[in-house]
Amino acid sequence: MDILQTITQEFHLTPTHATNIVALIDEGNTIPFIARYRKEMTGSCDDQVLRELFDRLTYLRNLEKRKEEVQSAITEQGKMTEEILAALDKAATLTEVEDIYRPYKQKRKTRASVAIAKGLQPLADLILAQDKSRNIKKEAENYLTDEVATVDDAIAGARDIIAEIVSDDAATRKKLRNFFFKHGEIVSSYAKGKEEEDEAKTYGMYADYREPVSEIKSHRVLALNRGEKEEFLKVSILVDVEFAKRITAAAFLKDGGESSAIVKEAAEDAYTRLIAPSVEREVRAQLFDDASEQAIKMFEVNLKPLLMQPPVKDKITMGWDPAFRTGCKICVVDGTGKVLDKTVVFPTPPQNKTEEAKVVLKKLIEKYKVEVISCGNGTASKESEIFIAELIKEIKQETGREVGYVIVNEAGASVYSASALGAEEFPDYDVTARSAVSIARRLQDPLAELIKIDPKSIGVGQYQHDMNEKRLDGALSGVLEDCVNSVGVDLNTASVSLLKFVAGLNSSVAKNIVAYREENGKFKSRKQLLKVPKLGEKAFTQCAGFLRIDGGDNILDNTAVHPESYAKAEKLLALFSYTKEDVKLRRIADLRQKIQAYGEDRAAKETELDRATLSDIVTELMKPGRDIREGLPAPMLRTDVMGIEDLKVGMELTGTVRNVIDFGAFIDIGVHQDGLVHISEITDRYIRHPSEVLKVGQIVQVRVKEVDVKKKRIGLTMKKKGK
């Protein structure tokens, strides 16, 4: 297999771009660096495509390595043929390679190996040849020994050998796998004795369930697997057994009379005893792998916009960690996230000390000029929200001060609070106070705060705890890395948690950067990074463009312009009579127009830049220190609250997308319970997946379609009226 050609075709690249990308990866360049600073070499492939390409490249290389191992193993046995070589060369998956290797693998003791040890292989070969002129029973007499007492024993042993030959046939197994995928039906029922258990009711819809394997959706595969794993469900795949047996026997049967009858029996035995259980496991495993990949992809789709939500900058924020018995933990932080004050109030049941809480909180809000309250959405959040809405209404009436509130997803806040990192940041705070700080900060800068939490705990995926942990961690780390590098990191304020995701850095080097900063003061230049222990030229090349220095010696250090392009950027400025001081003072607003009038190709040639890099540099020069998140819709600030009982069918509301899943999306409409927009209610046109239209954090207009107060279910629609 020509891996480069395969990559080129599958990703619709030019041969030059495919060659460049593979070379850049092999040289040890990071995906963010390649995506941002090597556009001319890759055809401007984005980070997502590059990661998919990297995964595919790794798979294909592992496939080739396994082919070589199998070829070597078969050759050592002296059994290599041109047919096997051709089959290995043609194999496109690891499963196909293992099918080819199956007959030559060292096996544990089987019925066939026992029969072979008794000397019955020649008889099996004779029967498999299906020569009508041979009398099988008479031939079998030649194989009688102390271990093979009768003719029937000899034939039975030969049949076991033939069954294993049939089972080991790669082409037959491939046909049967395809048959299971195309015509199989996945069925489930309650496991014996589990019907009455309360926990089993979670899987009620799968108590008597069947669906074609070819049509089953990813989330249902994962639900069935979890139910089976928890021993509430029994799951299997049904196929037309007689048809499957005919497929199994087809490649081995000839018109050989008595011999063919034995071969047919052996093939049917092979299917029932050896192939069907194995192929069912393989098909179930493939369904799970595909569903897992879809779930991981959905996690990535949801995680990225959550991390990239616009920061609510420079606002004094009150973090509110709601609770019942132990009280609501409150922290006030300034515009940079620094803690100013903290307390505990008890406005929720069972204490219900609302008036006392109002006095305490009004003083805090007035003292620190709090502008927004960030309240977590966990236990007691509804009760807290009702209290907050009443509190800010009174504040406006009494003082005229405008205070808004936001309900933020607090998933993972408790994980952070109890972590070593949380203890290191706030050694004198208890776990709940740390949680309140986290809730405030994740409104002020979601990326900087959420980066501290294990992505699996953020709560925007489906069945993430059932995934292959290594694969999930790798994918989510990629999302974190892409987000951090696309935004950029302030070198003088960033935490170790943030720095370790910068391209080319790791935890060890990130700690060294912070230690250097604490010992030597703020960085004045990106070049100072080379003085940080363990940060060499290669790491500098990868990371420098993603690190920003506000107020440093060189204004270019506060942009995404890479140091390798500084001279060219300065040449570009000089070409149009600008200086770096003009950049600093934002006096180059017409730079792009001047370049267009001059001619982009001409400007690129004179500055030795390719057009993609030229365009990127112009964007950065025109707005140094820019945050790409600023152009996105800001979180909605609320001042009032509704309950589910206030909802009426037909009511139109503004909501925020909280989670996008395979069958729809959950929308926060300002009541305690998120509403569900089913995929069929998202748009008037056909869509394959909700993510084509919606993403986490998006502000949307919805209409209430149905409300079930008792079950706390809200059905929403985004379709136009009358649809």
3-state secondary structure 545-562: HHEECCCCCCHHHHCCCC
Mean pLDDT value of segment 617-631:
88
Range of lowest pLDDT (217-221, 466-470, 616-620): 466-470
Confidence band, pLDDT 50/70/90 cuts, at residue 673: confident
> Are residues 694 and 593 located together in one domain of the fold?
no
Q: Is 263 domain-assigned?
A: no
Confidence band, pLDDT 50/70/90 cuts, at residue 428: confident
The reported pLDDT for the residue numbered 461 is: 64
Q: Which of 104, 133, 165 is the last residue of a domain?
A: 104
Q: Is 188 domain-assigned?
A: no
> Are residues 426 and 546 located together in one domain of the fold?
no
How many angstroms separate the CA atoms of 230 and 623, rounded? 55
Instruction: Describe the crossing of helices 82-90 and 94-101 by its angle, rounded to 10 degrees.
Output: 160
Mean pLDDT of the chain: 92
Mean pLDDT value of segment 579-586:
92
Q: Is 191 domain-assigned?
A: no
Confidence band, pLDDT 50/70/90 cuts, at residue 459: low
Other beta carbons less than 10 A from residue 233's beta carbon: 22
pLDDT in tens, 322-348: 999 999 999 999 998 899 999 999 999
> Are residues 659 and 614 located together in one domain of the fold?
no
Name the range with the highest mean pLDDT among 370-384, 404-418, 510-524, 681-695. 510-524
> Are residues 321 and 444 located together in one domain of the fold?
yes
CATH classification of the domain holding 86 = 1.10.10.650
Does residue 633 register a pLDDT over 90?
Answer: no
> Are residues 670 and 588 located together in one domain of the fold?
no
Range of lowest pLDDT (11-20, 424-433, 583-592): 424-433
How many angstroms separate the CA atoms of 576 and 551, rounded? 25
Alpha-carbon dihedral 138, 141, 142, 145, rounded to 10 degrees: 170
Range of lowest pLDDT (66-70, 364-368, 407-411, 507-511): 407-411
Does residue 722 register a pLDDT over 70?
Answer: no
The reported pLDDT for the residue numbered 462 is: 66
The reported pLDDT for the residue numbered 723 is: 54
CATH classification of the domain holding 604 = 1.10.150.310
Closest CA to 638 of 405, 378, 354: 405
Does residue 456 register a pLDDT over 80?
Answer: no
Q: Is 193 domain-assigned?
A: no
> Are residues 346 and 386 located together in one domain of the fold?
yes
Number of domains within the chain = 4
> Are residues 543 and 566 located together in one domain of the fold?
yes
Per-residue tokens: 285: 């495993």
Structural domain for 81, as ranges: 3-104
The reported pLDDT for the residue numbered 302 is: 84
> Are residues 602 and 681 located together in one domain of the fold?
no
On whether the CB atoms of residues 190 and 234 are closer than 8 A, the answer is yes
Mean pLDDT value of segment 691-696:
91
The one-character DSSP state at 274 is I
Q: Is 286 domain-assigned?
A: no
| Percent of the chain whose predicted confidence (pLDDT) is above 70 | 98
Cβ-Cβ contacts under 8 Å for 75 (sequence gap 6 or more) = none
Per-residue tokens: 563: 């140091």
The reported pLDDT for the residue numbered 458 is: 74
The three state secondary structure string of 168-231 is CCHHHHHHHHHHHHHHCEEEEEECCCCCCCHHHHHHHHHCEEEEECCCCCHHHHHHHHHHHHCC
The reported pLDDT for the residue numbered 460 is: 67
How many angstroms separate the CA atoms of 698 and 513, rounded? 36
Other beta carbons less than 10 A from residue 115's beta carbon: 26
Does residue 237 register a pLDDT over 60?
Answer: yes
- The conformational region for residue 467 under phi > 0 = left, psi -120 to 50 = alpha, else beta, is beta
Distances (CA, A) of 655 to 302, 539, 668, 700, 703: 16, 43, 5, 5, 10
Q: DSSP letters along 507-526, please?
A: HHHHHHHHHHHHHH-S---G
Q: Count each helix (H run) and each strand (E run) in the chain, helices first.
A: 31, 15
The reported pLDDT for the residue numbered 677 is: 96
Q: Is 278 domain-assigned?
A: no
Q: Which of 631, 653, 684 is the last residue of a domain?
A: 631
On whether the CB atoms of residues 337 and 495 are closer than 8 A, the answer is no
Q: Is 219 domain-assigned?
A: no
How many angstroms separate the CA atoms of 618 and 602, rounded? 15
- The conformational region for residue 421 under phi > 0 = left, psi -120 to 50 = alpha, else beta, is alpha
Q: Each residue of 55-78: b (16+ CB within 10 Å) or e? A: eebeebeebeebbeebbeebeeee
pLDDT in tens, 652-664: 888 889 889 888 9
> Are residues 591 and 672 located together in one domain of the fold?
no
Does residue 308 register a pLDDT over 70?
Answer: yes
> Are residues 525 and 578 located together in one domain of the fold?
yes
Q: Is 220 domain-assigned?
A: no
Q: Which of 46, 73, 104 is the last residue of a domain?
A: 104
The reported pLDDT for the residue numbered 144 is: 94
CATH classification of the domain holding 674 = 2.40.50.140
Distances (CA, A) of 475 to 295, 297, 393, 469: 11, 8, 44, 10
Mean pLDDT value of segment 240-251:
96
How many angstroms separate the CA atoms of 670 and 644, rounded? 9
3-state helix, strand, coil in the chain (%, to 5): 55, 10, 35
Other beta carbons less than 10 A from residue 559's beta carbon: 24
> Are residues 674 and 710 located together in one domain of the fold?
yes
CATH classification of the domain holding 363 = 3.30.420.140
Does residue 128 register a pLDDT over 90?
Answer: yes
> Are residues 551 and 581 located together in one domain of the fold?
yes
Mean pLDDT value of segment 536-564:
96
Q: Is the pTM of this model over 0.85?
A: no
pLDDT in tens, 278-299: 999 999 999 999 999 888 888 8
